[in-house]
């Protein structure tokens, strides 16, 4: 039975970012590392977007926008997001980049098999796949266990679920210099529903119908809304060149409480998704850097997580949206209707001061949030 220093169960975004940061640090070259996943990561299975004021992964960006658009049923405006840029990375480009980097290191190995069990015994971990067994000192687990969240009621679970079409229009229609961050002009039907549009040229874009809600829709419901939205934009003749769909958990459930001294849950399994927005890429880049810095001096995984004020802000937001899902359009409209988009993105990046927090909070509807706060206090 082969032994490794570190095993990654699952090779999603968080795992690949973490092992990439380990490579960059050059302090783990003497450690044996195994990544296990049933998916070889050879297909373009997702699109990641994030705002950034630096050069994060600029060499593999598929598109960058200097402005974004926000709309609802009563207004539409271009947002000034200075000092940020809105960036897009295709999943396959990211996978190829990371695997190309780690392939240069003989201490890092990849196994394409399904992990079936993970257990701890006598100060080490045992990982079993469908065909092999391995032991290791530490495990980074990114296999999501939905039962942990659905079996309790203290921390509500919303889902960011969507279907997107990559389309090519026969006529010029898109502003390729601005991504539509949220368009709430679509029928809300008692939920938080919006269109998300990422134009890559004047004739091409990814158009996604997205919800923040408890329950998923049928595939037909998403696609009917995309067709209607395109028609309202005057896009009648177009080709669908690709599709994507996803479902991202939005919850403040304390995943870190399931960490042990030798097993650390990462990614969505570790609560690395930003609960209030469902954005994952930027949060995972930050968490992976923090984790590798932690590994350089610490070995007890129960000490890694640190709860901050933004976790509590997200908790109130999820509580409110779970209780009154139809309020989402108003919440986001109140935040983005004024010329303060850079501050809002800084707040969502968890980089604001207490004074800046207050400026953002005062833009939100006070009575609903006060009720959410009282419910949480007396829960």
Give 190-248 pLDDT, tens digit per residue. Answer: 999 999 999 999 999 999 999 999 999 999 999 999 999 999 999 999 999 999 999 99
Of 97, 86, 92, the closest CA to residue 63 belongs to: 86
- pLDDT band of residue 122 (cuts 50, 70, 90) is confident
Sign of the dihedral defined by the CA atoms of residues 128, 149, 225, 314, in that order: negative
Q: Give the relative orientation of helices 328-336 and 309-323 as an angle to the nearest 10 degrees.
A: 130
Over residues 123-163, the pLDDT tens digits come to 899 999 999 999 999 999 999 999 999 999 999 999 999 99
Over residues 10-49, the pLDDT tens digits come to 999 999 999 999 999 999 999 999 999 999 999 999 999 9
pTM of the model: 0.92
Category of 312 on φ-ψ map: left (φ > 0), alpha (ψ -120 to 50) or beta: alpha
**Rounded mean pLDDT, 316-323:** 95
- Whole-angstrom distance, CA of residue 46 vs CA of residue 43: 9
- Whole-angstrom distance, CA of residue 203 vs CA of residue 199: 8
**Rounded mean pLDDT, 356-378:** 88
CA atoms lying within 13 Å on the CB side of residue 3: 5
Report residue 100 CA to chain centroid gap. Answer: 23
- Whole-angstrom distance, CA of residue 277 vs CA of residue 310: 12
Over residues 50-103, the pLDDT tens digits come to 998 888 899 999 999 999 999 999 889 998 888 899 999 999 999 999 999 999
- Whole-angstrom distance, CA of residue 250 vs CA of residue 234: 34
Using CA atoms, how far residue 332 sits from 99, 260, 290, 328, 366, in Å, is: 38, 37, 30, 6, 14
- Whole-angstrom distance, CA of residue 359 vs CA of residue 206: 33
**Rounded mean pLDDT, 276-297:** 94
The pLDDT score that the predictor gives to residue 82 is 83
The pLDDT score that the predictor gives to residue 378 is 76
Six token digits for residue 216: 């998923």
The pLDDT score that the predictor gives to residue 293 is 96
- pLDDT band of residue 377 (cuts 50, 70, 90) is confident
* pLDDT at position 366 over 90: no
């Amino acid at each position: 039975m082969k032994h490794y220093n570190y095993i990654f169960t699952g090779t999603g975004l968080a795992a690949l970012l973490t092992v990439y940061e380990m490579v960059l640090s050059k302090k783990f070259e003497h450690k044996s590392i195994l990544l296990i996943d049933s998916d070889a990561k050879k297909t373009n299975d997702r699109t990641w977007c994030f705002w950034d004021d630096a050069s994060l992964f600029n060499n593999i960006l598929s598109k960058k926008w200097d402005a974004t658009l926000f709309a609802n049923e009563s207004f539409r405006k271009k947002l000034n997001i200075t000092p940020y840029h809105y960036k897009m990375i295709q999943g396959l480009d990211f996978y190829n980049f990371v695997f190309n980097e780690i392939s240069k290191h003989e201490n890092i190995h990849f196994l394409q098999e399904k992990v079936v069990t993970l257990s701890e015994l006598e100060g080490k971990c045992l990982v079993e796949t469908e065909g092999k067994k391995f032991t290791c000192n530490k495990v980074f687990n990114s296999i999501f266990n939905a039962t942990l969240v659905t079996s309790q009621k203290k921390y509500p679970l919303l889902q960011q679920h969507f279907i997107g079409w990559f389309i090519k229009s026969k006529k010029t229609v898109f502003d390729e210099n601005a991504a539509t961050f949220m368009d709430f002009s679509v029928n809300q039907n008692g939920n938080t529903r919006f269109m998300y549009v990422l134009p890559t040229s004047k004739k091409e874009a990814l158009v996604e119908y997205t919800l923040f809600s408890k329950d998923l829709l049928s595939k037909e419901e998403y696609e009917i809304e995309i067709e209607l939205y395109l028609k309202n934009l005057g896009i009648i003749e177009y080709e669908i060149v690709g599709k994507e769909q996803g479902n991202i958990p939005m919850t403040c459930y304390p995943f870190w409480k399931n960490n042990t001294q030798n097993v650390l849950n990462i990614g969505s399994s570790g609560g690395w998704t930003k609960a209030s927005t469902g954005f994952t890429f930027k949060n995972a880049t930050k968490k992976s850097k923090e984790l590798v810095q932690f590994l350089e001096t610490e070995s007890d995984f129960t000490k890694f997580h640190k709860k901050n004020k933004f976790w509590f802000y997200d908790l109130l937001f999820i509580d409110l949206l779970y209780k009154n899902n139809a309020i989402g359009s108003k919440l986001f409209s109140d935040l983005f209707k004024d010329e303060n988009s850079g501050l809002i993105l800084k707040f969502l990046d968890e980089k604001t001061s207490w004074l800046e927090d207050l400026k953002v909070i005062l833009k939100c509807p006070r009575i609903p949030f006060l009720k959410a706060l009282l419910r949480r206090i007396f829960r």
